[in-house]
Amino acid sequence: MEQLANIFHLGLKELRSLQRDPALLLLIIWAFSLGIITAATSMPESLHNASIAVVDEDRSPLSERLIDAFQPPFFRPPQRIQLSEMDHGMDSGQYTFTLNIPPDFQRDVLAGRSPAIQLNVDATQVSMAFTGAGYIQVIGAQEVSAFLRHYRADLPQQAELAVRIAYNPNLTRSWFGSVMEVINQITMLSIILTGAALIREREHGTIEHLLVMPVTPPEIMLAKVWSMGLVVLLATALSLLLVVQGWLQVPIAGSLPLFLCGALLHLFATTSMGIFFGTIARSMPQLGLLIILVLIPLQILSGGTTPRESMPELVQQIMWAAPTTHFVDLAQAILYRGAGFTTVWPQFLAIIVIGALFFTGALLRFRKTLAQMS
């Protein structure tokens, strides 16, 4: 009971120290609010509100049909311009796409020839350039084909593929991006807060005070783990309820308490990593550089950004040792597909084992650091 009391009171001390650090408090608030909203709504994968201008030199029913085919929400209403205005509009950034329909376009199509339509693309708009060019090509081919057939009905197919999208039927990017950003923020903040707590002890000279107190290194480390983990866990719960479900209107398919239990185990592993980095770094800038070197591979290679199946086999095997890999699998299964504990217990077990190993390694390093200081 005395050890538990020491861990509890040392954890309260960490919470008070965090309360007096406005920079970290602002980082927590931003990461679980505006950080998630920005990541979920910026740079859409699908085309949205692209600006397009058309130079119609044919002025035929077919050219009018092509122009009318570019509709919201993919495109803004097409702007009709003159050929002399095209270059200036592209250079000034007014239009992402400009389409030049040549003279006698309809006559050449009806005569069986293959006239070319010039499409100019502003490639500096990376998020829209290549996707939009494909959309325009498909739309143009469909409209010309329908014009020649005099109807829009598709030709009968020998076999038809029926697609059912179980989660996110409209493929709204914010549904995926918001949840994955919450996962990324959990990992990032837990490592930063625990590492910063240890650096702060060293910079303020309070680590020497702890050395002369009747507390052990495991108690000091567990106090930092539970206090910083609790802060991130509460911020995660509020973010999922108020930002993800409330602001972004993203439905959560599974059990939120089950996900928070998995997040708690993940925090045990990542806070231990933060302690380990805090024993290596000697200042906050050094800690930031160490976290960047580790955090970016963890986020990119864990399966939250790109599917792990598309990665080299060696990378997949290495990432099995990372807690983020199993946490991403667990989170996607619960929040996207509504999985229960009987489905995700292997991920729970893997995170427990990896977290125990990380905690043991961090504790050994922490003991060595305290021994050198004493």
The ranges assigned to domains in the chain are: 2-42+171-373, 52-149
DSSP string, 99-159: EEEPTTHHHHHHTT-----EEEE-TT-HHHHHHHHHHHHHHHHHHHHHHHHTS-PPPPPSS
Phi-psi category of residue 144: left, alpha or beta, with phi > 0 → left and psi -120 to 50 → alpha:
alpha
Say which amino acid occupies 290. L
Confidence of residue 52 (pLDDT cuts 50, 70, 90): very high
* Residue 96 identity (one-letter amino acid): T
pLDDT in tens, 104-148: 999 998 888 888 999 999 887 666 777 888 889 889 888 888 888
- pLDDT > 70 fraction of the chain, expressed in percent and rounded: 94
Quick one: pLDDT at residue 199?
87
Between CA 59 and CA 62, with CA 61 as vertex, the angle to 5 degrees is 95
Q: Comparing 30 with 206, which gets the higher pLDDT? A: 30
User: Does the pLDDT value for residue 231 go beyond 80?
Assistant: yes
Tokens of 169: 């039927």
> Is the distance from CB of 128 to CB of 50 less than 8 angstroms?
yes
Per-residue CA distances from 151 to 64, 110, 371 (Å): 16, 15, 83
Q: For residues 341 and 256, is the Cβ–Cβ distance under 8 A?
A: no
* Range 52-149: architecture per CATH: 3-Layer(aba) Sandwich (3.40)
Q: Measured between alpha carbons, how far is 148 from 322 in angstroms, rounded to an integer?
A: 57
Query: Is 183 a residue whose pLDDT tops 80?
Result: yes
Name the DSSP class of 168. -
What mean pLDDT is predicted for residues 289-304? 86
pLDDT cut 90: percent of the chain above it:
40
Lowest mean pLDDT among 159-173, 178-192, 350-364: 159-173
Q: Indicate if the pLDDT at residue 269 is higher than 60.
A: yes
The pLDDT mean for the chain works out to 86
Name which residue leads in pLDDT, 44 or 68: 68
Tokens of 284: 């906050």
Report residue 243's pLDDT band, with 50, 70 and 90 as the boundaries: very high
- Angstrom CA distances, 313 to 298, 308, 316, 320, 328, stand at 16, 9, 5, 11, 18
- Total residues belonging to the chain: 374
Higher-pLDDT residue of 204 and 51 is: 51
Handedness of CA 88, 90, 95, 98 (dihedral sign): positive
pLDDT band, very low/low/confident/very high, at 45 (cuts 50, 70, 90): low
Rounded mean pLDDT of 6-11?
A: 88
For 64, counting Cβ atoms within 10 Å of its Cβ (0-12 exposed, 13-18 middle, 19+ buried), the class is middle
